[in-house]
Structure 1
Amino acid sequence: MTGRSSILAALAAALLFGASTPFAKQMVGDVSPIMLAGLLYLGSGIGLWTVRLIRDRGFAAPSLPAWEWPWLLGAIASGGVLGPLLLMIGLTHTTAADASLMLNMEAVLTAVLAWVVFHENADRRIVLGMAFIVAGGLLLAWPQHDGMGHSSTLGSLAVVGACLCWAVDNNLTRKVSASDAVFIAGTKGLVAGVTNLALALALGATLPAWPRVAQAMSVGLAGYGVSLVLFVLALRGLGSARAGAYFSTAPFIGAAIAIVSLGEPTSGVFWLAAALMGIGVWLHLTERHEHEHTHKPMAHAHRHVHDQHHRHTHDFPWDGVEPHAHPHRHEPLLHSHPHFPDVHHQHSH
């Protein structure tokens, strides 16, 4: 994907996920948090695997290399099991609008892990933007007890815990982002859905009425399934920190829906936090990164077009259709152009 299409994928993922938060909040009172998390992800997994079976005209073995499976399993455990569970718990102790803005912490934690643990490049503009988002998050996390249904510290901490789980998930998923995005997202949905559903039933929860089940699974397919497919594509083209930065527009979408459609109350603190987070997101969206860099030799497989990074020949008959996918090798290359830390730009600075 090009940089522009990767950005559009990240923003579309943010739109779908942001819209899902207030709808999930509406179901929290009727369905236990663990059960709801299971239904959301189960809808995602069943829906995406159905799409994959139709697309491939039957079951097709995944193209995931053996060394990438631990990354995928770690992403499923952190982002597919623990993350949604903590979010559903947080939604029982906070408003949907506040929870939506608190989800901006996912971008911050994703970037911190990307920079500190996975050594992804960061510049002053991105760091400054993260500082504004953190300031807004701290304002929302400050204890508020005014009897108007505002967030509790427990609710805020649970949402931040979910953000940390998804930050780990984002960085691990980046390791496998060159593989089939539908397989990655669908498998995460199935495993996470079955795990959370089984845990909820073991703890004594019961399935809600079928209309509520269908509603939860539909929200999960859009907000957790299709959204994740798009986010994996964004990770492939932007890297963890920047994809997370674009995705951080999701909470504003969720907060706007909660305020306009659900009539939730707001406060001066809420609007100040929104302004700080908005500045941070704007700094991320207007970043430009360009310098001379060297591409080391590497071999992998993913969908691509024959751009400046894909000038290889083919050892098989090719009909000229692009994009296409096949194993290919990159030779050493030195050049300069605007870029993101995508699967081809993981160099040091």
Structure 2
Amino acid sequence: MWIVRLALRRPYTFVVLALLIAVLGAVSVVSMPIDIFPEINIPVVNVIWSYSGLSPTEMQDRIVTVSERAFTTTVQGLEHLESVSLRGIAVTRLYFQPNVPIAGAIAQVNAQANQIVRQLPPGIFPPLIIQYNAASVPVVLASLSSDVLAEQQLNDLGNNFIRPQLVTVPGAAIPAPYGGKLRVVNVDIDPDALYARGLSPQDVANAIFTQNVILPAGTSKIGTREYDVFINSSPEVLNDLNKIPLRYVNGSLLSVADVAFVHDGFIPQTNLVRRDGRHSVLLPILSSGTASTLSVVSGARALMPKILAGLPSSLKVDFLFDQSLFVRAAITGVVREGAIAAGLTAVMILLFLGS
């Protein structure tokens, strides 16, 4: 064969080519991301609407239908779209043509979604717009538990202390934790008291919203200095919300406490996490499509002791479902099979060619 004759005439050229292949292979192995799934660029965008209190039918009629009509009219490159409506939540998935730049598609969807908010029910917020990526899966689960801390404290520590610090790990994405209780301020309305005074629940809500604020009032110049002046009508004590005035009725001041009761509480739990029979909070750690599972898991494990140093000592964090174990096992299998293949090739060359 001509390639054999060429190799015999120019052996040094082929030696250099073999060394070049070996060097490039080593560089590729070091720089290549190691993950269980490859990076998959799918031109799909998810639009998530949320509006508490609406039934699935109302979500479909008042939000999804309006947004779908707007997206199909102005957004370019759409292939088709799908929508799912639940109680208080609606998810619209937009599929684009394969050659559509996903960054430009997200910009179009975001601009159109912000524009149609005015046509939707009052008080709704702009939707959450995220790109769908099949490779964005949990690589490790962090379990938060304690024998002393309550469920609300576990959720608060996971969401407001651990989560913001874990996102500094390159390639890590940390969604909201599962389990625990979310703290809210409840306003329990007395329907009979409202009816007797000719008020509605909306009157109570408007009074709390409009009077529980901090507004800048300008500046005050005293001598050679200028000071900022604020009008602080936001109560520092939760119980003071009951003292917010509603209106004058028959010459007397009517406050929130006369028709309602404001107190600390929690929203109804929609998910529960139990580990070994104890209440717990689950914090999933995801890996983006371009990050290595091994680097994300090792970074999260290395950072966790530093985070826990500033938190209550009774908090325990354990890592569950570590996907890096499967990745390491796969790498070990590839190396083992490669070594066996190289050894068998060398043996075959030695036996049949004697070289």
* TM-score, normalising length: structure 1: 0.22
Q: Which has the larger radius of gyration?
A: 2
More helix by share: 1
More strand by share: 2
* TM-score, normalising length: structure 2: 0.22
